[in-house]
Amino acid sequence: MSLFDLSGRTALVTGANTGIGQAIAVSLSDAGARVLCAGRSSMAETLALTGERGSGVTLDLSDPMAAAAQFAEIAERERVDVLVNNAGIIRRADALDFSEADWDEVMDVNIKAVFFLSQAFARAALARKGQGRIINIASMLSYQGGIRVASYTSSKSGVMGLTRLLACEWAGKHINVNAIAPGYIATNNTQALRDDPDRNKAILDRIPAGRWGDPSDIGGAAVFLASEAAKYVHGTTLPVDGGWLAR
């Protein structure tokens, strides 16, 4: 059996309707996993790509505690082996003008929901005395400050720190907690940057690979971290960035 074979495992991927989440769901499915595609939008396109291994789950992460409670109910009904905390939102404004609403909305989805879904996942894994994999989606702004995205940068820096903390607490309990930090990927969240000729050129000039990433570039990293090949990997944040940080 391949180290990367995920047959017999069930993964839940948040924000799986489009972009990086969709690509991760498809990659996990291609590796043999059954994938629960979770979010508040239609999953029809993703389910068409995952075929019989995919199923949709309505999960509204704008209410993190309700979403965590709903996840706990799912985990009571069936074993979930892999949790991918992918869902995220972004708000853009100068720091002097940033609103409390934009701060709270981003932090609720991007870090509060990540923690409490992970907590529910770990409780279920420990109750069944099984193993588990948590894969959080960080960002280049886990390493850098960025501009005009105060709550997003704060939340993604928090994702990296939370990944380390949970790994420290749960590695000895057979739960691997790691993160992926996508580089500049062509998704809805980066549309504004790609539409700005100056920002687009500045970003491309810095990426050694010379292109924006495709969501599918993240899928292989997710399969690795979900698989037995990564069984001794704990607390890492893996950049998949076309060499951005190396520059």
DSSP the chain: --TT--TT-EEEEETTTSHHHHHHHHHHHHTT-EEEEEESS--HHHHHHHGGGEEEEE--TTSHHHHHHHHHHHHHHS---EEEE---------GGG--HHHHHHHHIIIIIHHHHHHHHHHHHHHHTT--EEEEEE--GGGTS--SS-HHHHHHHHHHHHHHHHHHHHHGGGTEEEEEEEE-SB-SGGGHHHHHSHHHHHHHHHH-TT-SPBPTHHHHHHHHHHHSGGGTT--S-EEEESTTTTT-
Domain containing residue 189: 10-237
**Considering the domain boundaries, does residue 178 fall inside one?**
yes
Q: Is residue 56 assigned to a domain?
A: yes
Tell whether 243 is covered by a domain.
Answer: no
Mean pLDDT of 36-53: 96
Q: Is 90 inside a domain boundary?
A: yes
User: Residue 21: which CATH number?
Assistant: 3.40.50.720
For the cut 90, the answer to whether the pLDDT of residue 145 exceeds it is yes
pLDDT in the model for residue 74:
96
Please, what is the average pLDDT of the chain? Answer: 96
Instruction: List pLDDT tens digits, range 164-185.
Output: 999 999 999 999 999 999 999 9
Examine the residue annotation and report whether 152 is marked as an active-site residue of this protein.
Answer: yes
Report yes or no on 245 lying in a domain.
Answer: no
> Would you say residue 5 lies in a domain?
no
Query: What is the pLDDT at residue 188?
Result: 83
**pLDDT for position 192:** 85
State yes or no: pLDDT of 50 exceeds 80.
Answer: yes
Mean pLDDT of the region 240-244: 98
This prediction has a pTM of 0.96
Asked if the model's pLDDT at residue 1 lies above 70, the reply is no
Look at residue 166 and tell me if it is in a domain.
yes
Percent of the chain past pLDDT 90, that is, above it, reads: 96
Q: What is the pLDDT of residue 193?
A: 87
The one catalytic residue among 143, 152, 184, 232: 152
Residue 3 placed within a domain: no
| pLDDT higher than threshold 80 for residue 189 | no
User: What are the tens digits of pLDDT across the range 193-235?
Assistant: 899 999 999 999 999 999 999 999 999 999 999 999 999 999 9
State the total domains in the chain.
1
Q: pLDDT per residue over 57-99, tens digit each?
A: 999 999 999 999 999 999 999 999 999 999 999 999 999 999 9
